[in-house]
Amino acid sequence: MSTDVVIRSTRAPARRTPPLAAGAGPYRLALRRLRRDRVALAFGALFLVIVAACLAAPLYARDVAHTGPNDNHVTDVVRVGGARRDVVSPEGIPIGPTWHGRFLLGADQNGRDIAVRLLYGGRNSLEVGFIATAITMLVATLAGGVAGYRRGASDAVLSRLFDLIWAYPAVLLGVALGTSLALGGLNLGLFTLSGRSLLVPALIIGFVYIPYVARPVRSQVLSLREREFVDAARLQGLGDMRILASEILPNLASTLIVFVPLMLANAILLEAGLSYLGAGIQPPNPSWGTMIGDGIQLLPTALHMTLVPGAMLVLAVLGINVLGDGVRDALDPHAPTRLPH
Amino acid sequence: MGRFVVRRLVSMVLVLFAISVMTFLIFQAIPNGDPAQRLAGRTATPETIAAIRRTWGFDRPIYDQYLLTMRNVLTGRVISYTQQVNVERQIADGLPATLSLAIGAAVIWFALGVALGLLGAMRAGGAVDRALTALAMLGVSMPVFLIGALLLYLLAYRMGLFPNGGYVPLSRDPAGWLSHMILPWFTLSALFIGIYSRVLRSSVLDTLGEDYVRTARAKGLSEWRVLIRHVLRNSLIPVVALWGLDFAAVIGGGAILTESVFNLHGVGQYAAQSIGALDVPPVLVIVMLGSFFVVLLSTAMDIVVAVLDPRIKLAS
């Protein structure tokens, strides 16, 4: 009876994975599975291309478009296929895509080059997204880890804080904080921020999403701390912080990795929403959200103003989401994840 | 049971109190600068500013200002900075549009999310399933206001099938109400249909592996009957739990983007306009009441679920 069980349990995984995998660790295996996921890799590559293009914004502005992201050209004239055309017509309608170096993707109502603003705006949107995600992941891991590991009073206080932030609809809390901070910036003695700083929306978005990560981290740490290897570490005399860092954290890693693309995608979307409402990145700083907001004002006459930043935003977020799905499947096909709204 | 309800209600009151303090602090303590100065404008004399400070109570200690604000919020006497009108009356005016939007959208996203999720699970791995996965992915990757803007452009402006935004009360013109609401409903639903169909699909696939499903099939029931009566009933639990929370969030201000794009003059758009004018009191009241509503509804849901499902531990 018992031999039967042993044989079955060793054979079952051997049939699913090739013999090569005998000595490979879980991350090696996950990487191998991810490498076979062509769709996820293609969308990941798409996202990387967008990031690279946005990083090259100053090059494009200087050498191709010959204008900056905030330079107005309302009264300028461009040559399109031999004909001279106003950048912004006397009726206030901006020019559409010229498919030339200048105004490649058209102009906006102030005669600014949309392609240049698109790349600079992408830098801002992505920067806010990355910083916000870093803040969410760091704070949530620390707070969720401490709450789950220490339990008792620290857990009670931290969990109530998570509940409190959770009770606000994400957009509404972001809007509240964004309005409040855009009014006068932040002043914490040593640490001051002006209302126009990019860090303001990044901090807000990072803060709003903390409970979405901290709650699952806490519940996973709660069960991890009861495992034998944690007891063993404690018996060896290791301190709490050491156990959290070297015993618990490595077991949390795959959950955290799955959350990174999910949070990044949502942070970029929330930034767009806040900027659209005027509570995110402040004008004249471009971002995909503010550009779409400008475009919606002129939707019937200048569709390109909405379509261009909108397409870029959707492609970037789609790239992150599909890659993230592939990473999740590769790490653990049954990992539960919930999209915040 | 009674003790569970009491404990849940006590913790709800504590959370409501904490929310009111946090919202108050966000708007009164974080912004630098003097609200009286903002109210008075740039050309005000110091006497005017001092008078404003006294009438609005900005010179009182902070806990006093909190109590004053809360008394005004709860008795419906908050006045906006810019137009000096009663904020809660404005909110009441916007409520029919917000409720029409939230209720209609919630019905659509639940029905479509369940139908598409079930379809995906039945055809798991096939072409239909993969197409649905791709659509769901697109749905969660598009910002709502972009979906709304593109629908408005195509179906309202270009093809003239729907009116170009705005809201018509149901009591005045039911047909007009419907034609004004259809685009906003589907715009708001897109994201949720994407999420719900994915959640239901995986929940159905999990349930299909259960023993009682095999038993039902062994009894000779038709596949359709097994799916509807035995599988769907159990896999709906996570979706229904999500639905309650999301519905509360949408009514509590989560539809602010959709309302703004379609110019529905609802509560969310009122908040958005106040943000544009840097008018603090309406935003404070809407944020506070919105999150109050979320907490109230999620407490009610907890109690209802506990009553319905005896397996949920009342102690925890």
Note whether A306 contacts B143, CB cutoff 8 Å: no
The pLDDT, as a whole number, for residue A270 is: 93
The pLDDT, as a whole number, for residue A340 is: 39
Mutation for A interface: B24, B32, B203, most A CBs within 10 A = B32
pLDDT band at A65 (very low <50, low <70, confident <90, very high): confident
pLDDT band at A15 (very low <50, low <70, confident <90, very high): very low
pTM above 0.80, yes or no: yes
Q: Are B226 and B216 in contact (CB under 8 A)?
A: yes
User: Which residues are CB-contacts of B88 (< 8 A; sequence separation ≥ 6)?
Assistant: B76, B77, B78, B285
Closest CA to B312 of B301, A335, B11: B301
Per-residue pLDDT tens digits for B125-182: 888 888 998 899 998 899 999 999 999 999 988 888 888 888 888 888 888 898 899 9
Closest CA to B152 of B138, B141, B143, B163: B163
The pLDDT, as a whole number, for residue A51 is: 95
The answer, yes or no, to whether residue A290 has pLDDT greater than 60, is yes
The pLDDT, as a whole number, for residue A9 is: 36
Indicate the residue type of B308: L
The three-state secondary structure class of A187 is strand
Instruction: Please give the backbone phi and psi of residue A102, each rounded to the nearest 5 degrees, phi first.
Output: -85, 130
Per-residue pLDDT tens digits for B223-238: 888 888 888 887 887 7
Pairing of strands A191-193, A186-188: antiparallel
Collect all residues of chain B within an 8 Å Cβ-Cβ radius of residue A296: 145, 149, 261
Residue of B32, B153, B294 with shortest CB distance to A300: B153
Tell me the mean pLDDT in the region A30-45.
Answer: 88
Q: Does A314 touch chain B (CB under 8 A)?
A: yes
Note whether B26 contacts A276, CB cutoff 8 Å: no
Higher-scoring residue by pLDDT: A250, A2:
A250
The pLDDT, as a whole number, for residue A339 is: 40
Q: Are B153 and A303 in contact (CB under 8 A)?
A: yes
Note whether B257 contacts A277, CB cutoff 8 Å: yes
Note whether A183 contacts B32, CB cutoff 8 Å: yes
Distance linking the first and last C-alpha atoms of chain A: 51
Collect all residues of chain A within an 8 Å Cβ-Cβ radius of residue B286: 172
The pLDDT, as a whole number, for residue A11 is: 36
Q: Which of A49-58, B227-236, B279-288 has the highest mean pLDDT?
A: A49-58
The pLDDT, as a whole number, for residue B239 is: 83
Distance CA A208, CA A271 (A): 11
The answer, yes or no, to whether residue A21 has pLDDT greater than 80, is no
Q: Are A162 and A210 in contact (CB under 8 A)?
A: yes
Distance CA A20, CA A34 (A): 16
Mutation for A interface: B145, B159, B237, B298, most A CBs within 10 A = B145
Residues 173-212 of A with CB under 8 A from B: 173, 175-187
Instruction: State percent of chain A over pLDDT 90.
Output: 32
The pLDDT, as a whole number, for residue A336 is: 45
What's the mean pLDDT when you consider all of chain B? 83
> For residue A186, what is the enclosing H or E element?
strand A186-188
Higher-scoring residue by pLDDT: A276, A333:
A276
Higher-scoring residue by pLDDT: A188, B233:
B233
The answer, yes or no, to whether residue A333 has pLDDT greater than 60, is no
Indicate if the alpha-carbon torsion angle A112, A114, A118, A119 is positive or negative: negative
